[in-house]
Amino acid sequence: MESAYNFDVDKFRLGSLCKRGHEWQGTAQSLRRSCNGGGCVECERERLKEYRCEYKRAHRAKLKEQGLTSRGKTRINAPPGSEQSVLNKGLKAAGRSPSVARLVMNEQLRYWRENPSAKADHDRQQGRASWWLEYQTKPELRLYTREKSKRRKTKMKGNTFIEVSSQQIKERFTLFNDCCAYCGQSGDMQIEHAVPISKGGTHAIGNILPACRPCNYSKRDKEIESWYRSQSVFTELRWRKIRRTLGWTGGAVNQLAMI
């Protein structure tokens, strides 16, 4: 059978009215506990509230004696000339304490001021690390660096060379869908000279093809057609596209097209 009261009948009961007159829902009775002496529930709440208020007042008074705010963090104004006032002035003059990271940085800066050579070595290492990170993440920088290296090699060999922009190389690679002109594999393409520089090849857009690392290293200074036909990846369709892109006609290499 359900209880007619909206409280737990196993823990609470209705009893005689308490001294403070806490009547429960117009019943002329007080809600009391079934155990622990049967005290009035509302009286217990009021006593607990009074205890908490008294504790807070005592706690604030104790903090005030120490010259602190109610939260116990910020200093309040102490009487002039008191010990607390002198301490507050000292803390204010000292300012905020530096963090551990700031202390470490200050020590590092002091060391660099006393050792300029160490600072120069650090800057060089940071510069190399920064450049290498950009080299790995920026395709334009990789193309520029590789083109510059190939141009320098061509100049050392005494061959004809023309500065090729990164945009021209990108357009040439796009003709092969950014894949190797020989095997069709995708990935990080290298600048391949159809006619090797060591065999008098020019460094110009007309002599450049995209090649993957294995194909580029395999071809090296070999003659392009004989080498390519000996490879397992050879296809007549790709070979015709290579010749058409380079502007080669008939059986001879068109040197003008290479420039």
Determine how β-strand 12-15 pairs with β-strand 30-33. Answer: antiparallel
219 backbone φψ class: left, alpha, beta (φ>0; ψ -120 to 50): alpha
- From the list 157, 162, 132, the residue with the least C-alpha distance to 147 is 162
* Identity of residue 240: R
Report the DSSP pairing between strands 12-15 and 190-193: unpaired
Sign of CA dihedral 30, 35, 39, 45: negative
pLDDT at 3: 47
pLDDT of residue 227: 94
Contact indicator for 68, 84 with CB cutoff of 8 Å: no
pLDDT for position 2: 42
**What is the residue-averaged pLDDT of the chain?**
85
Cβ burial, residue 68 (10 Å; 0-12/13-18/19+)? middle
What pLDDT is stored for residue 119 in this prediction? 94
CATH 3.30.40 range(s) for the chain read: 139-258
- Token pair belonging to 20: 């403070």
Q: What's residue 257's pLDDT? A: 46
Q: Could you tell me if 157 and 198 are in contact, meaning their C-beta atoms sit under 8 angstroms apart?
A: yes
pLDDT score at 72 = 55
User: In the prediction, which pLDDT does 140 show?
Assistant: 86
Under CATH, to which class is 139-258 assigned?
alpha beta
Cα–Cα distance measured from residue 58 to residue 81, given in angstroms and rounded to the nearest whole number: 26
d(CA 70, CA 64) in angstroms, rounded, equals 8
Give residue-wise pLDDT tens across range 64-88: 777 666 665 555 566 677 777 777 7
In this prediction, the residues of the chain whose per-residue pLDDT falls under 50 are: 1-3, 252, 255-258
pLDDT on residue 93: 77
- The length of the chain in residues reads 259
Torsion-angle region of residue 98: left (phi > 0), alpha (psi -120 to 50) or beta?
A: beta
Joined tokens for residue 135:
């080299």
